[in-house]
Amino acid sequence: AEVDTLTTEVQIYNELKRRVEESTFKKDLQRNIQAHGSPGAFWESEQESLLFVIEMKNEKIQEQKKKLLQLDQLVDRTLSQEDQIVQVLQQNEDLRVRFNNSQTLVQQLSRELQDLKVALERQVSLNHKLSQEKEQLMFKLRHRDSCPTIHLPAVAPR
């Protein structure tokens, strides 16, 4: 595990060194040395160190830019999801209101149905009673000649 870690660090260092060699700062430094001469080994070493530091800082900045972009995308997704949640909650509320209205209508229709059933039962009972009275009257009417002793009372019109 330590060998893998060290190998990875060496690869990162070599990549950084390669980028320093290819960087515009390095090329500008080389042109400056050629144009004005070497400032001395110490200053050349310091400039090389500064190039490494600049390249490392540049790498950090690039990583932070990537993270910032990812965070921006995450914020966008979160806002989009929040909008969707608001829409779903509104739809839920609308459906709840519709459900309550439907329940009220069902209760009202149930009461009306019950009232109609009661009225129908009364009407059926009345029809049955009237039918029986009609049958009795028809019977009396048919048999009045055969039973002269039966006197029919005058039927009052209804």
Residue of 91, 101, 19, 106 whose CA lies nearest to 55:
19
Q: Taking the complete model, does pTM exceed 0.75, yes or no?
A: no
The pLDDT tens digits of the residues spanning 38-79 come to 777 777 788 778 878 888 888 899 899 999 999 999 999 999
Q: How large is the average pLDDT for residues 111-137?
A: 97
Lowest mean pLDDT among 18-27, 76-85, 118-127: 18-27
Query: In angstroms, rounded to a whole number, what is the distance separating the alpha carbons of residues 6 and 31?
Result: 35
